[in-house]
Amino acid sequence: MKIDVVFEGGGVKGIGLIGAICCFEDYGYEFNMLAGTSAGSIIAALLAVGYTGRELKSIMLELDYNMFFKKKSLYHMNIIKKSINLFKDKGIYSGDQFENYINKLILKKGKSTFKDIEIEGVSPLKIIASDVTEKNILILPDDLIKYGINPMDFEISKAIRMSISIPFYFKPVKFYHNGGCSYVVDGGILSNFPIWIFDTDIKPVRPTIGFKLVDVNKKYTSSPRMDFISYLFDIIGTMIDKNEEIYVKDKDAVRTVFIPTLGVKTTDFNISKDMKIKLFNSGYKSAKKFLKFWNFDKYIRKYYM
């Protein structure tokens, strides 16, 4: 059965989404339209270019998130240099390493731009980012036309980079247009769970399933080395985490897989492999439980008739 899917953002917790994906694939589901924010955009994009859930599991279990930073830890960079980068470039890390890494993964499947995955002129992939200058949610690639950019010629890896650019961690992507400049950052700032993205006023021909990360037993602790920059990062991480908890109305809750994240924070870049496996298993078990009760016909009768 084909379904449309929406993946919530959640930084390093995204491995939980992959567990749910693998469960759906094991039950014979295929993904048609895909959307995601932040970490969810990575997963949606890699599925769109041809990766399977099992392939994503192998990639993410071996991934060292610190490879995307110039130093092994945020604390290893001198506080003065951190501050200079932050106030000069509005972010400490460029994001180039991450974009290059994702681009290589996409190229391995023979893809690069949105044109490479289009179906009858439409991209099956939608990525959420935030234009903090214009204070608008961006749906990529569609909204690129507002900036004078051909949506289909845009690189998928660049769109993902925009969606995962956590403010102050990564430098924002700049769009110059109409004599001005827009700063584009993490989509989770404005819409971390775009479950609405494929909805229309008419009865859907296939279900849209959301995959949402939740933590029912938070045990967050602050780092013992709380300099100003680290404090700022904690604030941003908290904002994104809290955005994930925004109330989901009944119509959307019944079509959403809720995945416990076991106390892991969005910005826990030093997450262990063992914890990644636990998150994966959490996603798989949650999806299996969801599929036990999910009934598309019942959903249609309740909300569209």
Is 227 a catalytic site residue? no
Beta strands in 190-283 (DSSP E): 208-214, 256-260
Catalytic residue among 38, 41, 163, 165: 38
Q: How far apart are CA 66 and CA 263, in angstroms?
A: 20
Beta bridge partners of 91: 168
26 has catalytic annotation: no
Per the structure block, which two tokens stand in for 31?
């993904």
What distance in Å separates the CA atoms of residue 123 and residue 34, rounded to the nearest whole number? 9
Annotated active-site residue in 131, 157, 165, 186 = 186
Give me the residue label for tokens 């749906």: 139
| Other beta carbons less than 10 A from residue 250's beta carbon | 8
For 35, 64, 169, 277, the CA distances from 55, given in Å and listed in that order, are 19, 16, 28, 14
CB 186 within 8 A of CB 131: no
Strand ranges (DSSP E) for the chain?
2-7, 30-37, 91-93, 125-131, 136-140, 168-170, 173-177, 180-186, 208-214, 256-260
- State the catalytic residues: 38, 186
